[in-house]
Amino acid sequence: MFYYGQLVIGPAGSGKTSYCNILQEGSFKRNIQVVNLDPAAEYIPYKCAIDIRELICLSDVMEEFEYGPNGGLVYCMEYLLQNWDWMQDQLNNIAQDDYVLFDCPGQIELYSHIDMMRKLTQLLVNSGFSISSVYLVDINFIEDDAKFLSGLLMALSASMTLELPAFTVLSKCDLMKDKKKLKRYTKLHKFNEESEYINQDEFSKTYKSFTSGISELVTSFGIGRLLCLDTTDDESIDNILGEIDYAIQFGDNLEPDDKLYDQAEQQL
């Protein structure tokens, strides 16, 4: 069995749940299922195919064990890993051609400090998933260079631990009216034809204040795949999906649409 999808990650409030919802509501040439992996979620706007809260929810854990929110969350994710059979049973109900988004919790410690999310992604890969991580960085990170770089380093740290094809997406671009400013940040992330990574000279010129070591680190791990998400513009979503489809090879094994094939043949 082969499944395709995205692990949607990023700090609290970066727009993960909204992104999943927009994708499910829109028409992007695929049937999108969303799995809620956030045991602390209070409101979920999308139709949930699988909801971790049916297995365990943060408020119950905090009450029963008198844990704080972060300790409680770690407990919930550990519980999910220990009860993976439950998840596997639910995943078996998902059709093979469906495209699955995993809406993850926002606590970045889960990715960078402990290897829980990496274990989870390995279980998904073992279940036949071809997935990429999609790390959302809020547009307010481009307020200044230092903040932006810290956002990229956080993305790098989280994405690297997951060992998946990784994409960094600048979310809430609809809020950025200054398109010139947006371009200044995103132009750094155009693929360099030769190396496939971002243009290091361009990056160093812009971030003169940072050591070349940091620039090298950021540019050489491919988190330069910085994509813009403007949820009011379907083209930006198509662009993100297109890049990810290529990386996870979504669509490669789909049967040709007979109707379209017949139409094309008639036109010949």
Footprint of ligand GTP (CB under 6 A) = 10, 12-18, 38, 106, 171-172, 174-175, 231
Is the separation of the CB atoms in 4 and 129 below 8 Å? yes
Look at residue 125 and give the partner it binds from Mg ion, ligand GTP, none, a contact being a CB closer than 5 to 8 Å depending on partner kind: none
Q: Which residues of 122-145 are buried (b: 16+ CB within 10 A; e: fewer)?
A: ebbeeeebbbbbbbbbbbebbeee
C-beta separation of 38 from 52 below 8 A: yes
Closest CA relative to residue 34, chosen from 49, 53, 45: 49
Separate counts of helices (H) and strands (E) for the chain: 12, 7
Q: C-beta of 12: minimal distance to ligand GTP in Å?
A: 4
Rounded-to-integer distance, Cα 71 and Cα 177, Å: 39
**Which of ligand GTP, Mg ion, none does residue 189 bind to, with CB < 5 to 8 Å depending on kind?**
none
Residue of minimal Cβ distance to Mg ion? 17
**Nearest-approach distance from CB 42 to ligand GTP, in angstroms:** 9
Beta-bridge mates of residue 134: 8, 167
Segment interacting with Mg ion (CB under 5 A) among 9-17, 87-95, 140-148, 164-172: 9-17
Number of residues this chain uses to bind Mg ion (CB under 5 A) = 2
Q: Which is nearer to ligand GTP, 105 or 199 (CB)?
A: 105
Q: Between residues 45 and 251, which has the closer beta carbon with respect to Mg ion?
A: 45
10 or 72: whose CB is closer to ligand GTP?
10
CA dihedral sign, ordered 141, 172, 186, 246: positive
Q: In terms of DSSP bridges, do strands 32-36 and 129-138 run parallel, antiparallel, or are they unpaired?
A: unpaired
Nearer to ligand GTP, 7 or 198 (CB): 7
Identity of the residue numbered 126 = N
Is residue 17 near Mg ion by the rule CB under 5 A?
yes
Backbone angles phi, psi at 96, to 5 degrees: -60, -35
Q: Which of Mg ion, ligand GTP, none binds 13 (CB below 5-8 Å, type-dependent)?
A: ligand GTP
Nearer to Mg ion, 49 or 188 (CB): 49
Tokens of 116: 């829980």
Report in angstroms how near the CB of residue 265 gets to ligand GTP at its nearest. 41
In which region does residue 37 sit, left (phi positive, over 0), alpha (psi from -120 to 50) or beta (all else)? alpha
CA-wise closest residue to 138 among 27, 42, 15:
15
164 vs 228 by CB, closer to ligand GTP: 228
Question: Which range in 15-23, 109-117, 155-163, 239-247 contacts Mg ion by CB under 5 A?
Answer: 15-23
**Nearer CB in complex with Mg ion: 24/200:** 24
Which residue in the shown chain puts its C-beta closest to ligand GTP?
A: 106
- Strand 3-9, strand 226-228: pairing: unpaired
Please report, as ranges, the residues that interact with Mg ion according to CB under 5 A.
16-17
